[in-house]
Structure 1
Amino acid sequence: MQLIVADTGGHIAITVKEPRIDAAIATSFKDKMREIVLQGRKPVQMDMRSVDFMDSSGLGAMVAVRKALPSELPIILVGMTPNVERVFRLTRMDTVFQIQSEVT
């Protein structure tokens, strides 16, 4: 699992360096992400530019991570590829996660 994690003070910045978040890595992705977000207890900004594919297992892992955080702490998904963004919009998960086009 390739994740680059930085605490910026105001939020946890996570760069996902995996081309796919699918059934093959969903469980390890979920476990590692939960560990990161629960330790930080801050808003999370995820740079998703490297992710070209996400299936329902990957989406389920993302939802599990979202549920691990208190509702007032957002997970902001940044730089999603069109295929991955489509998965979020079709499943209405764009109402659960904040989506931005550029890393801030």
Structure 2
Amino acid sequence: MQFVVQDSESHLLIRVGEARIDAAIATQFKDRLRAIVTRATKPVHLDLQHVDFMDSSGLGAVIAVRKALPDHLPLVLQALTPNVERVFRLTRMDSIFDIRPATPQEVQRQ
């Protein structure tokens, strides 16, 4: 499981380095991320630019991570690939999550 965690003044950025978040790794993904975000004291931004595929298990893992955060701390999803964005749109989770494009700094790092 590959994560890069960066703590900025305004938020905690977690970059996911996996190409797939599916049933094979969803539980491990959820457990590792929950361990990180339960210590968060500011909003969490989850960068999914490298994730090309997410199934319902992966979606459930992201939802579980959101539920692990205190209510006052948002989970922002950023830089979703078209396939992953489609999963959120088809399940109407795009109306629940704050989904943002990659920032100019993120685009430069790609």
Work out whether the TM-score is over 0.5: yes
Map Cα deviations across residues 49-93 of structure 1 (whole Å, 9 max, x no partner). Answer: 100000000000000001111222111111101110010011111
For structure 1, which runs of at least 5 residues remain unmatched after alignment?
none
For 1:2, the equivalent position in structure 2 comes to 2
For 2:102, the equivalent position in structure 1 comes to 102
For 1:43, the equivalent position in structure 2 comes to 43
CA RMSD for the aligned pairs? 1.1
Contact 1:48–1:79 (8 Å) recurs in 2:
yes
Normalised by the size of structure 2, how large is the TM-score? 0.89
Normalised by the size of structure 1, how large is the TM-score? 0.94
Shift of 1:11: 1.0
For structure 2, which runs of at least 5 residues remain unmatched after alignment?
106-110
Question: Following TM superposition, where does structure 1 have runs of at least 4 consecutive aligned residues deviating by more than 3 angstroms?
Answer: none
Shift of 1:17: 0.4
2-structure distance, mates of 1:42, 1:58? 24
Q: Percent identity?
A: 61
2-structure distance, mates of 1:79, 1:60? 19
2-structure distance, mates of 1:44, 1:52? 21
Q: Does 1:82 find its partner at 2:82?
A: yes
Deviates more, 1:93-102 or 1:20-29: 93-102
For 2:73, the equivalent position in structure 1 comes to 73
Aligned residues: 104
2-structure distance, mates of 1:60, 1:10? 26
Look up the equivalent residue of 2:49 and give its one-letter code. R
